[in-house]
Chain A
Amino acid sequence: EAQVTQNPRYLITVTGKKLTVTCSQNMNHEYMSWYRQDPGLGLRQIYYSMNVEVTDKGDVPEGYKVSRKEKRNFPLILESPSPNQTSLYFCASTLSMRGSSTDTQYFGPGTRLTVL
């Protein structure tokens, strides 16, 4: 089954404790992206990756890191989480974004993060 998986689905942590949220897709998609969803703000793009070893900032990258060492995986790293990073996070993948932006994004189920 074609899907985007995220782990963990729920996470409660404390300020400053490094964490990683994993994202994996089995569709051989080139483009992957991370979003955070906050009430009244919709989804905001954190980082995206055009392909292996190619990443770029979205609109709200501060406090986050990503890496793309393999095509299927795109982990989101919070080196020193703070309470303002409490949010619902979504990973998404798209077959290709070769300048035509034609492809549908497939979303993971979300990770609800609480930073105390």
Chain B
Amino acid sequence: AQSVTQLDSQVPVFEEAPVELRCNYSSSVSVYLFWYVQYPNQGLQLLLKYLSGSTLVKGINGFEAEFNKSQTSFHLRKPSVHISDTAEYFCAVSIGSGTYKYIFGTGTRLKVLA
């Protein structure tokens, strides 16, 4: 069965510091990988996605993620965070064949400190 693991439930970081939010997945079939962000009291919006090709994916708001097939990881990074990046971040996979489900991780709450 497919699964997504976000080991860090909360990540505090000072403003202008770099951050990495970790995501690992498990799947026996091909998957597509996504990062979504949820600001307080809002729905989710897409940050970036990996479908194929270059393993380094750039998204909105200065975020990027790297797909590592051997480590089954898709970690999200930003070189310098802002207060406005405080939000919850979800890693997700969609199943590439046979079914059309989405599976989300449990989320990582990023808190940027002044």
> Which of A14-22, A38-46, A63-71, A73-81 touches B?
A38-46
> Which of B68-76, B77-85, B88-96 touches A?
B88-96
Query: Does B106 have its Cβ within 8 Å of any Cβ on chain A?
Result: yes
Interface size class of B (residues with CB under 8 A): 20 to 34
Contacting A48 at CB < 8 Å: which of B9, B31, B34, B101?
A: B101
Q: Give CA–CA (A115, B95) in the complex, Å.
A: 33
Write out the residue numbers on chain B whose beta carbons fall within 8 Å of the beta carbon of A44: 104
Q: Closest CB-CB distance, A86 to chain B, in whole Å?
A: 17
Question: In the complex, are the beta carbons of A107 and B94 less than 8 A apart?
Answer: no
Number of A-B contacts (CB under 8 A): 63
* Best-surrounded residue of B6, B43, B44, B103 (most CB of chain A within 10 A): B43
Q: A42-B105, A45-B103 are in contact. List 19 more A-B contacts (CB 8 A).
A: A4-B43, A35-B104, A42-B107, A43-B90, A43-B104, A44-B104, A48-B100, A50-B100, A97-B100, A99-B100, A101-B31, A101-B32, A101-B95, A104-B49, A107-B43, A107-B44, A109-B42, A110-B42, A110-B43
Q: Name B's A-contacting residues (CB within 8 A).
A: 6, 9, 31-32, 34, 36, 42-46, 49, 51, 90, 92, 94-97, 99-107
Q: What would be 18 A-B contacts, judged by CB atoms less than 8 Å apart?
A: A31-B100, A35-B104, A42-B6, A42-B105, A42-B107, A43-B104, A45-B104, A48-B101, A56-B100, A58-B101, A59-B101, A97-B94, A99-B100, A101-B94, A102-B32, A105-B44, A109-B43, A110-B42
